[in-house]
């Protein structure tokens, strides 16, 4: 089953797309249109729908928050269809130029992103009516970048948010970087949080603050258990009782609560050695 839904947030339009072999998609992705700019492009399994969305729109450029295939899946075909450039972080440029491997579940859920020649971000992206500032915010991926429209209080946050109380991490995420990015982003002035999976048109800053506090509390609990004499394996066993087993099984352990606990243990040890 394919899902394609349009969300209107004032002057911002979100296009929610998802693909499921049986029933509704397990996870959808939202890419955004602001003025004559696209932020992300959705998954390649929804290529036909993405092209239909952009075909009659005036688009001057595409911005990628990061290289992950559910965000970059249609950038190559949109660049060709609309004869426009796309921009990304240097690591995004490298990944999109050389290609990158994905796991079986990623092939099934989203599909592979075609290679594309991406250009470096300018310091400011001007749409005519709106001005977007790219801000590197690593953690979810090394190249993860968000975009601030400070005059309107908009933050296009890619996968920085996802939810206030997340239940799992990817194996390639970095919790220390995520915490640092959240703290830096919360110094910015914004209200609308245009997340690629879970948008918050209002009170977005509060939602992001809640995520930071949740992760900090999670880190404190892991540190307490480790300092109390539990081994890493015992901490994982004690804290993984809320594991979403379907997600862990479907991703062969690549995405799980256990990965989140492991990343937290690494973060705690890193903080301990640094102090």
254 in any annotated domain: no
Confidence of residue 243 (pLDDT cuts 50, 70, 90): confident
The answer to whether residues 148 and 57 touch, using CB atoms and an 8 Å cutoff, is no
Average pLDDT over residues 239-261: 91
Please state the rounded mean pLDDT for residues 115-141.
95
Cβ neighbors of 96 (< 8 A, separation 6 or more) are: 64, 67, 72, 75, 88, 113, 115, 116, 117, 118
Q: How far apart are CA 39 and CA 117, in angstroms?
A: 16
Beta bridge partners of 134: 147
Residue tagged 């996968």 (tokens): 159
User: Within a domain: residue 209?
Assistant: no
Please determine, for residue 26, whether its predicted confidence score (pLDDT) is greater than 90: no
Residue 223 within any structural domain of the chain = no
Answer yes or no: are the C-beta atoms of 133 and 147 closer than 8 Å.
yes
What is the reported pLDDT for 255? Answer: 95
What local confidence, expressed as pLDDT, does residue 274 receive? 65
Q: Which parts of the chain are beta strand (E)?
A: 2-9, 12-19, 29-34, 37-39, 61-63, 86-88, 119-120, 125-126, 131-136, 145-149, 154-158, 169-170, 192-195, 255-256
Where are the extended beta strands (E) located within 128-219? 131-136, 145-149, 154-158, 169-170, 192-195
Mean pLDDT of the region 228-243: 92
* Phi, psi of 146, deg, nearest 5: -115, 170
Mean pLDDT, range 118-132, rounded to an integer:
93
pLDDT of amino acid 275: 56
Mean pLDDT of 138-143: 97
Total domain count, the chain? 1
Identify the domain containing residue 47 by its residue range.
Answer: 2-204
In a domain, 211, yes or no: no
Does 97 map to a domain? yes
Q: Is 259 a domain residue?
A: no
Domain membership flag for residue 41: yes
Q: Indicate whether 22 pLDDT > 80.
A: no
Flag whether 137 is in a domain.
Answer: yes
Give pLDDT, residue 99. Answer: 97
- Residue 168 is part of a domain; what is its CATH number? 3.60.15.10
For residue 188, name the pLDDT band (cuts at 50, 70, 90): very high
């Amino acid at each position: 089953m394919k899902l394609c839904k349009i969300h209107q947030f004032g002057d911002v339009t979100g296009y929610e797309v998802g693909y499921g072999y049986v029933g509704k998609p397990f996870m959808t992705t939202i890419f955004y249109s602001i003025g004559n700019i696209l932020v992300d492009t959705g998954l390649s399994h929804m290529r036909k729908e993405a092209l239909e969305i952009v075909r009659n729109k005036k688009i001057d450029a595409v911005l990628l928050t990061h290289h992950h295939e559910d965000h970059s899946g249609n950038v190559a075909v949109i660049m060709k269809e609309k004869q426009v450039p796309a921009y990304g972080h240097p690591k995004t440029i490298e990944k999109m130029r050389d290609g990158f491997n994905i796991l079986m579940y990623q092939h099934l859920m989203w599909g592979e992103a075609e290679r594309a020649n991406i250009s470096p971000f300018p310091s400011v992206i001007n749409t005519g009516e709106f001005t977007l500032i790219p801000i590197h915010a690593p953690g979810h991926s090394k190249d993860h970048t968000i975009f601030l429209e400070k005059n309107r209080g908009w933050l296009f946050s890619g996968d920085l948010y996802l939810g206030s109380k997340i239940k799992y991490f990817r194996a390639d995420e970095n919790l220390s970087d995520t915490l640092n990015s959240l703290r830096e982003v919360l110094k910015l002035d914004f209200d609308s949080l245009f997340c690629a999976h879970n948008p918050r048109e209002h009170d977005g800053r509060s939602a992001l603050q809640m995520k930071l506090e949740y992760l900090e509390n999670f880190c404190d609990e892991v540190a307490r258990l480790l300092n109390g004499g539990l081994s890493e394996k015992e901490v994982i066993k004690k804290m993984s009782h809320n594991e979403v087993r379907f997600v862990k099984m479907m991703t062969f352990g690549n995405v799980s609560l256990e990965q989140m606990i492991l990343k937290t243990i690494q973060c705690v040890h890193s903080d301990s050695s640094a102090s």
